[in-house]
Amino acid sequence: MSLPTFISTDPLVADSSLTLGEDAAHHMRVLRLEAGARVRLADGQGSRGVGTVLRVAKRNAAVHVEHCEFIEPLPAVHLIVPIADRERMLWLAEKATELGATSWRPVMFKRSRSVSPRGEGTTFQQRLRARMASALEQSGGAWLPLPYPDSTVEGSIAAAPEGIRIVLERGGAPMTSLLAGESHVPVTIVLGPEGGLEASELEAFGKAGFRSASLGTSLLRFETAGVAAVAVARAVSHGAMQRSAATDVAATDEAATDVAATERAAMEHAASEGART
């Protein structure tokens, strides 16, 4: 039976104690965990570990961290998402966390303004972070997406890292073709709002080096497109890394074979010289 996982807002340090919040304490009571129970821990910043429950109170719980390990982050996949329907944004945030998205930047596009109720503001951002944390607990991941405050088109462009920049649009090049051969380059993906991006918004992204990409011929909702796009980016980078690793292994084996052949030739030469002597 797998151990339940809890997210700590503090960094994990082996052989130390930490306090988990009210939500974690409630979850422990639901699971009927008591002092002595073992649990998995993650801090959302790359560390995962195992600990033992020390106590469960009404508003918090104390856990002793037995050991922990640091997990290197996956190649970066940044999402620029539309401010849209609250529940659909939360659903996408959950799935993007499970798939290992690196960051989440909501943008008020022109067509976002017609949506009600919208996922924006401080209270919604708190719900978003909680949903991401819950998804990380479920998926066993080590990294939470970094959630940024609400932004504009211009702000999202200015903040986008160098690398592969993609705007999802029907009629664009196949997304896989834009990612081919690039396993470690940051990927930034723009999801448009319902009804699509305005021409001026597309132009702004285009001038900043964003290329149109498609996920097929179907017209997808932004949350469906977001899940599919992150999954494609992750699959392509994983495949590229596996091929790179296989190439490295083959090169190492070939080098070892060459060394062995050289050593055999040297030994044979030495033996023949000894025989003539």
Query: What is the per-residue pLDDT for 259?
Result: 55
Query: What is the per-residue pLDDT for 273?
Result: 63
Q: Which residues contact 104 (CB under 8 A, 6 or more apart)?
A: 79, 81, 93, 96, 128, 132, 145, 146, 147, 148
> Does residue 160 contact residue 78 with C-beta atoms inside 8 Å?
yes
Query: What is the per-residue pLDDT for 238?
Result: 74
- 1-18 average pLDDT score: 93
Query: What is the per-residue pLDDT for 12?
Result: 96
Residue-wise pLDDT for 95-112, tens only, equals 999 999 999 999 999 999
77-240: CATH topology: Alpha/beta knot (3.40.1280)
Residue 250 has pLDDT above 50, yes or no: no
Residue-wise pLDDT for 181-238, tens only, equals 766 889 999 999 999 999 999 999 999 999 999 998 889 999 999 999 999 999 997 7
Which whole-number Å values give the CA distances from 30 to 42, 129, 133, in the listed order?
20, 21, 18
Residue 256 has pLDDT above 90, yes or no: no
Superfamily for 5-70? Hypothetical PUA domain-like; domain 1 (2.40.240.20)
Residue 4 has pLDDT above 80, yes or no: yes
Residue-wise pLDDT for 17-31, tens only, equals 999 999 999 999 999
Query: What is the per-residue pLDDT for 2?
Result: 86
User: How is the chain split into domains, by residue range?
Assistant: 5-70, 77-240
CA dist., res. 155 & res. 171, Å (int): 26
- 144-165 average pLDDT score: 97
Query: What is the per-residue pLDDT for 82?
Result: 98
Beta bridge partners of 20: 61
Q: What is the pTM (predicted TM-score) of this model? A: 0.83
Structure tokens that stand for 94 in this block: 């959950």
Task: Specify the range with the lowest mean pLDDT, choosing from 162-166, 171-175, 250-254.
Answer: 250-254
Query: What is the per-residue pLDDT for 237?
Result: 79
Q: Which residues contact 44 (CB under 8 A, 6 or more apart)?
A: 7, 133, 136, 142, 143, 144
CA dist., res. 52 & res. 40, Å (int): 9
Query: What is the per-residue pLDDT for 245?
Result: 47
Residue-wise pLDDT for 216-230, tens only, equals 888 999 999 999 999
- Phi, psi (degrees; rounded to nearest 5) at 218: -80, 150
Residue-wise pLDDT for 33-91, tens only, equals 999 999 999 999 999 999 999 999 999 999 999 999 999 999 999 999 999 999 999 99
Residue 170 has pLDDT above 70, yes or no: yes
